[in-house]
Amino acid sequence: MTNIYKLPIVLLVLIVCNFFLSCEHNVTEPAGQKTKVQFTFQKTNHNFYGKGWWRGEHSSERSKNISFTTKETLSKTNEQIDEVKVLCLDMTQWYDVDEFIKAWNATEQYSLFDTTLWDDSRDDWENISLTLKSYTGDYYQVVGELNLSIIDSIAKGTINLNPGLNYFLYCFRSGGTTVYINETDAEIVEGEDNVVRLDSSAVDFAPEVPGSPYPVDGATGVSTSVTLNWECYDAESDTLTYYIYFGTESDPPYYSMTNENSYILSGLSAGTTYHWKIEAYDADYNSSEGPVWSFTTGGSSSIPAAPTLYMPADRATDQPTSLSLEWNSSSLATSYNLQVSANNSFSSYIYNQNVGSSTYYQLTGLSNNTTYYWRVNASNSYGTSGWSNVWSFTTGSASTNGWITQTSPTSDNLYSVYFPGTSTGFAVGSYGTIINTTNGGTNWTLQTSGTSNTLLGVYFVSLTTGWAVGYNGTIVKTTNGGSSWVTQSSGITDDLYAVCFTSSTIGYVGGYGGVILKTSDGGSTWNIQSSPTTSDLWSMYFTSSTTGWAVGQYGTIIKTTNSGSTWSIQNSNTSTLLNSICFNSSASGIAVGSNGIIVQTNDGGNNWSLQTSTISSSIYWIHFYPSSSTGWAVGSDGLILKTTNGGSNWATQDSPTSNSLFSVCAASTNVCYAVGSSGTIIYTSSGGN
């Protein structure tokens, strides 16, 4: 026998018989050139014993069993020899056989074993078997076996293996002929207690199937300019190349290629269904193909319609030099473009800008006694509408700036005013009076309230849905902008002075003797809540769904932090009647009352402090434009006060009336309305200046 200890290459021979390791084997080496299968190995120290033969010789009863760990490759290195290729997942160093057996018995296994052998020069490779065995202490146990059938000189098959485990490979032919295995990378000396282990070079697997498409499969109304997005991952973190298939065909053709998981498309046809799919390739050209997805672009109707102008009314005169231009929203619009010019041909512009999604713009710095022309168009991702009709307005003399008296349809006292939009507002008053404007007060119209009881408070949660409350427990509601009002049962006959809603269903009412009512169903039912006071409550204000205040007689201030379940009295530092309360943040609030009283808090009402005031007139109402420091207060004899710093300082503004003003509502930081005795309505679009 050739001196095996000095050979650079060691051959490991594994044979099989019907009794396998439990019987004697008579091995006959194949005639001529030995058939070899090339592997790459590395040594590990561990003892495994078994009965077998070394290089087909009977010189040793101890065999070197080939072990390997999943996610390792047995690769072909010479075209002259046969190949066994093992493709598996993951790799963990397992040296304890018992632990290996436990892991093998785990419930989850993977079809990971792929074997290919070639030998075009031989025809006796029929019924090749590949056996996996584990050591159980005294013997090897078969844990997986694959019988391969040769088709066109290629044998393939799979065995379920656990990831990250050691296995022992036996490769043989059913005729008992030994398959010789050539070990190249580790010198193995016969008799040493070594185990030959496969090299731990990782197998490169195909990327995952692309998924999570955007637009989502079946999406409609998609822009004609859209960015395709998808998700795809590779276990080896390989850089992936994506082949994009795209078109109107249900089986889309190849379109483009990218290394990003997104692709920008533009110039698509409107109202068209497109199909697309992604094929992902790694650096070794392993690939995975995603399903075919589809989306439909929006039709031409997806471009928004031209807006309709709202206020000031067309050809309006005596307008201030600072005013709010408003228009109706256009369905599907995401932004608006406003043009203002001193000529109707728009050959030059006073203003020409995109104003975003807002449906109004505060125009300032205009000249007196000048006619201006304006128009608006609407845009979204599909395109831009045509221009609206051109409207005009003419500014007045300098004396028309500031506060302007509007024409009122009633001579009854108006006690409360509320604007849910810049131009849409409601006012209520004596004998069930309700009036409404939809054009910023250019026109006010009487509505039918269904009651003759005086209404003292009004509140809207939208342009169409609102409530009014008044004498004898009266509550009326509209859901159509005041076209009709429906009486709701309050369950009491006490006078109701204040109303406030935190949503379309949850609202509160306060009134005579400290009564508090709450509804959770939009007013269908009202329930009396426990009140800590018997003082009349004249005003309520909530800063959130849970936190609110009410004020009234004798300097009363009460607060809830649990949606009205309980109310607690706060120290106002005054016993003077408080008529109104308003907050411009969750912490900063102002309450006003008789004799010019103003109290302020900056800590959510934990502490209230009196402001120094030179005003002796009663202040009936205060209102901040939401989340701003700009607000107004009004009172007896036409009193108008304005603050721009959250109420720390107040300035008196010129009033066009000497009638008492009972209520005020800021529709923006420049637009404000006030109502009062004898049907008085005044308005500013210039911040009152």
pLDDT in tens, 510-546: 999 999 999 999 999 999 999 999 999 999 999 999 9
Cα separations (Å) of 345 from 268, 313, 368, 372?
A: 35, 20, 21, 11
User: Which pLDDT tens digit goes with each residue over 483-508?
Assistant: 999 999 999 999 999 999 999 999 99
Token representation of residue 388 = 């609206």
User: Which pLDDT tens digit goes with each residue over 675-687?
Assistant: 999 999 999 988 8
DSSP state for residue 420 in the 8-state scheme: S
SS3 638: helix
**Would you put residue 617 in left (φ > 0), alpha (ψ -120 to 50) or beta?**
beta
Whole-model pTM over 0.85: no
Cα separations (Å) of 472 from 317, 392, 622?
A: 43, 47, 25
- Amino acid, single-letter form, for residue 682: I
Using an 8 Å Cβ cutoff, are 130 and 84 in contact? yes
Between these two residues, 385 and 129, which has the higher pLDDT value?
Answer: 385
User: Which pLDDT tens digit goes with each residue over 77-90?
Assistant: 322 223 333 322 22
Cα 223-225-231 angle, rounded to 5 deg:
90
Give helix then strand counts, H and E, for the chain: 1, 60
Backbone φ and ψ of 560, nearest 5°: -120, 145
DSSP state for residue 57 in the 8-state scheme: B
Average pLDDT over residues 268-281: 90
What pLDDT, on a 0 to 100 scale, did the predictor assign at position 668?
A: 86
pLDDT at 240 over 70: yes
DSSP state for residue 329 in the 8-state scheme: -
Average pLDDT over residues 472-477: 97
Cβ within 8 Å of residue 482, ≥6 positions away: 426, 434, 436, 447, 466
Cβ within 8 Å of residue 581, ≥6 positions away: 539, 540, 541, 549, 550, 551, 557, 589, 590, 591, 592, 622
User: Which pLDDT tens digit goes with each residue over 110-165?
Assistant: 322 333 333 333 333 344 444 444 444 444 445 444 444 434 333 344 444 443 34
Token representation of residue 574 = 């005054």
Q: How confident is the model at residue 390 (pLDDT cuts 50, 70, 90)?
A: very high
Cα 180-184-186 angle, rounded to 5 deg:
115
Average pLDDT over residues 553-560: 96
pLDDT > 70 in the chain, percent: 69
- Amino acid, single-letter form, for residue 8: P
Between these two residues, 398 and 562, which has the higher pLDDT value?
Answer: 562
pLDDT at 48 over 70: no
What pLDDT, on a 0 to 100 scale, did the predictor assign at position 399?
A: 57
What pLDDT, on a 0 to 100 scale, did the predictor assign at position 577?
A: 96
User: Which pLDDT tens digit goes with each residue over 6-44?
Assistant: 323 222 222 222 222 222 222 222 222 222 222 222 222
Question: How many Å separate Cα 285 from the centre of its chain?
Answer: 36
Containing H/E element for 219? strand 219-222
Short-list 195, 176, 167, 184, CA closest to 72: 167
pLDDT > 90 in the chain, percent: 51
Q: How confident is the model at residue 45 (pLDDT cuts 50, 70, 90)?
A: very low
Token representation of residue 228 = 């395709």
Q: What is the mean pLDDT of the chain?
A: 74
What pLDDT, on a 0 to 100 scale, did the predictor assign at position 300?
A: 61
Average pLDDT over residues 375-389: 90
Using an 8 Å Cβ cutoff, are 369 and 379 in contact? no
User: Which pLDDT tens digit goes with each residue over 576-624?
Assistant: 999 999 999 999 999 999 999 999 999 999 999 998 777 889 999 999 9
Using an 8 Å Cβ cutoff, are 27 and 13 in contact? yes
What pLDDT, on a 0 to 100 scale, did the predictor assign at position 221?
A: 84
Q: What is the CATH number of domain 404-457+537-684?
A: 2.130.10.10
Count other C-beta atoms under 10 Å from residue 252's C-beta. Answer: 18
Between these two residues, 132 and 257, which has the higher pLDDT value?
Answer: 257
What pLDDT, on a 0 to 100 scale, did the predictor assign at position 106?
A: 42
Short-list 230, 338, 204, CA closest to 289: 230
Cβ within 8 Å of residue 561, ≥6 positions away: 546, 547
SS3 104: helix
pLDDT at 274 over 60: yes
Report the C-alpha gap between 293 and 217 in whole angstroms.
Answer: 5
Pick the CATH number of 317-399 from 2.60.40.10, 2.40.37.20, 3.30.390.30, 3.40.50.720: 2.60.40.10
User: Which pLDDT tens digit goes with each residue over 397-451?
Assistant: 765 568 999 999 999 999 999 999 878 999 999 999 999 998 888 899 999 999 9
Between these two residues, 41 and 633, which has the higher pLDDT value?
Answer: 633
What pLDDT, on a 0 to 100 scale, did the predictor assign at position 634?
A: 97
Same fold, 211-301 and 317-399: yes
Backbone φ and ψ of 75, nearest 5°: -115, 150
User: Which pLDDT tens digit goes with each residue over 286-318?
Assistant: 888 999 999 998 766 578 889 999 888 899 887
Burial class (CB in 10 A: 0-12, 13-18, 19+), 600: middle
Token representation of residue 475 = 């509550």
Sequence spans of domains, the chain: 4-198, 211-301, 317-399, 404-457+537-684
Report the C-alpha gap between 491 and 607 in whole angstroms.
Answer: 35
Report the C-alpha gap between 79 and 373 in whole angstroms.
Answer: 86
Average pLDDT over residues 324-334: 87
- Amino acid, single-letter form, for residue 14: L
Q: What is the CATH number of domain 211-301?
A: 2.60.40.10
Cα separations (Å) of 235 from 92, 213, 244, 480?
A: 16, 20, 21, 59
Burial class (CB in 10 A: 0-12, 13-18, 19+), 575: exposed
Cα separations (Å) of 74 from 111, 202, 465?
A: 17, 11, 76
Average pLDDT over residues 548-552: 97
Cα separations (Å) of 206 from 156, 210, 213, 351, 644?
A: 19, 11, 19, 58, 65
What pLDDT, on a 0 to 100 scale, did the predictor assign at position 364?
A: 82
SS3 570: strand
